[in-house]
Amino acid sequence: MVHRSAPVLTVGVDRAAVETALCGSGLWCPAPGCGRRLAPWGSARERSVRGAGQLTPRRARCTGCRRTHVLLPASVLLRRADAVTVIGAALLAR
């Protein structure tokens, strides 16, 4: 079985503001050639991120191409177990 992850879209750190933008037609599909409105579509899996605690990112679905996208807060990086602040502190300490 091949597991394909949903494309990730980095959004703001304020969850309420992101939810308002998502429900109010303020987020758009980043897929090439699409650009249609994103609509709420549940949540991605819960994960533990050092420096951010437990995180359950929001998921959205494009009203045009029907792809789903994970809305990842700007305070964490894609495929990293550490928050941006933890990575930044490690770089400064180095």
Given the structure tokens 């703001």, which residue do they identify?
Answer: 12
Question: What distance in Å separates the CA atoms of residue 74 and residue 4, rounded to the nearest whole number?
Answer: 22
pTM of the complete model: 0.83
Condensed to tens digits (0 to 9), the pLDDT of residues 43-62 reads 999 999 999 999 999 999 99
Q: Which of 64, 82, 73 is nearest to 43 (CA)?
A: 73
From first to last of its 94 residues, the chain has per-residue pLDDT tens of: 554 567 889 999 899 999 999 999 899 999 999 999 999 999 999 999 999 999 999 999 999 999 999 999 999 998 899 999 999 999 999 8
Pair 71, 20: CB distance under 8 Å = no
